[in-house]
Amino acid sequence: MYLTFSNTAQKRIKPLITTDTRIALDLDDGVGPFSDAATCTFDVAFNLVLCQDSDLSDDFNVTIDSDLGPVYIKDYTTEQLDSALNLDVDRYLRYKLTGPSGILDPNVTLRNLQPVG
């Protein structure tokens, strides 16, 4: 499994990444520290989370490769993902997660939880 960040997505995300940054692709299902609560719909919703090692829980037990380094996911999330993933920015400046099967999430939220400074 590989996540390709488009050039536009890289230009927006790369400046936020430091040597201590960990990237998580979080399925918002109510499990883990980044999900406040699962939504009561059948929609699949992902968050791209920029965080520190200490922010990641044991739920994020698998990494996938990407243009920006390892991306942490929950192991069962692979059932919701394609083997080749793309994160792009649409004309409304929303992050969109796609794969060979089509659009997986048209509105991925970027959450930067890193300390300011």
CATH number of the domain that 7 lies in?
2.60.300.12
Assigned domain for 117 exists? no
What is the Cα–Cα distance from 11 to 7, expressed in whole angstroms?
A: 6
How many CB atoms are located within 10 Å of the residue 102 CB?
A: 7
Assigned domain for 115 exists? no
Is 90 exceeded by the pLDDT of residue 89? yes
Assigned domain for 116 exists? no
Q: What is the pLDDT of residue 34?
A: 73
For the stretch 78-88, pLDDT in tens is 999 999 999 99
For the stretch 24-46, pLDDT in tens is 999 987 666 777 655 555 566 89
Assigned domain for 25 exists? yes
Domains in the chain: how many in total? Answer: 1
Q: What is the pLDDT of residue 92?
A: 92
* Domain region containing 81: 1-110
* 73 burial via Cβ count (<10 Å: 0-12, 13-18, 19+): buried
Task: State the first-to-last Cα distance of the chain, in angstroms, to the nearest integer.
Answer: 33
Is 70 exceeded by the pLDDT of residue 117? no
For the stretch 50-69, pLDDT in tens is 999 999 999 999 999 999 99
Q: Which of 17, 50, 45, 52 is nearest to 31 (CA)?
A: 45
| Residue 115: band (very low, low, confident or very high) from pLDDT cuts 50, 70, 90 | confident
Assigned domain for 12 exists? yes
**Whether pTM exceeds 0.85:** yes
